[in-house]
Amino acid sequence: MKGTVLITGGAGFIGSHVASELLKSGYHVRVVDSLVTQVHGDNPDRPSYLHRDAELILGDLRNPDLLDEALEGVDAVYHFVALVGVGQSMYQIAEYTSVNNLGTAILLERLVKNNVKKLIVASSMSVYGEGLYLTPDGQPYPNANRTTTQLKAHEWEMQTPDGLPLTPVPTPETKQPSLASVYALSKFDQEQMCLMVGRAYGVPTVALRFFNVYGPHQALSNPYTGVLAIFASRLLNGQRPIIFEDGRQLRDFVSVFDIARACRLALEVDDARDQIFNIGSGETVTVEQVASRLARILGKRVDPEISGNYRVGDIRHCFPDIARAKEVLGYKPQVKLEAGMRDLAEWLEQQTAHDRFNEMRAELTSRGLVV
């Protein structure tokens, strides 16, 4: 399907890469974005990295008149607008709910009045909470969690209530969500609202659950952004990356270039209709490993600092089973972590990053959200 595609939040990190991917494939791309200060700085202007052929409409998604203008003649919509940040969502509750939940509702009300042929919504690994685990006898244990007592005792790993160790395994889309933060709740609300309304009005809808996305154009001075960007900001300012818990949390870091390809496939593959897909790299590493590898690639001879603190809402292990995306979308990750971090490092050489990690930690600590 070629035609006009609208990307909400399309001037952001992921949205701008999707815009470039679609333009390269022959689509006309329109972007609506409010250029929020936390991401784009105090005096935001059209980002230099946004493809010159992308049409930009500046404004808030919650403005119905702006949406009517943005949706005119549109064939498909990517919905990427969202405030991000697990910790921040726990005290800016009204703002996260307004932008993420209400913004999606207003978009859907206007969208169904237009002849939109497809809707793709960006969801998040955060909806899973903890990933999937197995008991010692190999049985799935999908509702793992840690008590406050365990966390205060620095007992980081998952176990059953009677003390049996649990082993993390790739998490499939069928795992029951476990919402540990206002951000996670809002992302689950976004995806389910889009799927529900899409089914009701006959708009084919696809939800993509992104794992830890990294790459060029990430907001380096936003302390609530992806962990690799936070580590990069620290390293560029001569500071050690600070890691919560013991650094052995398992994650999947996926290049934004693979994410952009997955987004295009979700638009073009008819069988994707009304489905949810994990989008990751298929590689699993610890948070400490990724911090150390990034420092080496950037030429910084520093080791990460293991804080031993924990943040309310953080999870221990979560990495995806991407079999469904491979089978239905034809998605195949192409960027290995080492190569992807080199892409990131090359871009970082031209950037200035303001390290605001300590501000973020102090804010969360003052509210009892870092212990």
pLDDT digits (tens, 9 = 90+) for 31-79: 999 987 667 766 678 888 999 999 999 999 999 999 999 999 999 999 9
**Domain range annotation of the chain:** 4-366
Residue range 314-371, pLDDT digits in tens: 899 999 999 999 999 999 999 999 999 998 888 887 776 666 666 666 766 776 667 7
What predicted TM-score, i.e. pTM, was given to this entire model? 0.93
Residue range 279-297, pLDDT digits in tens: 999 999 999 999 999 999 9
Q: Is 96 exposed, middle or buried (0-12, 13-18, 19+ CB in 10 A)?
A: buried
How many residues does the structure list for the chain?
A: 371
Largest CA distance in the chain: 59
Which pLDDT does position 360 carry in this prediction? 61
Euclidean distance between CA atoms 280 and 329, whole angstroms: 13
Which pLDDT does position 332 carry in this prediction? 97
pLDDT at residue 224 greater than cutoff 60: no
Instruction: Please identify which of the residues 183, 224, 310, 331 carries the catalytic annotation.
Output: 183
Beta bridge partners of 124: 210
> Is position 183 annotated as part of the catalytic site?
yes
Which pLDDT does position 350 carry in this prediction? 79
Rounded to the nearest angstrom, the gap between the alpha carbon of residue 192 and the centroid of all alpha carbons in its chain is 16
Which pLDDT does position 234 carry in this prediction? 87
CATH topology of domain 4-366: Rossmann fold (3.40.50)
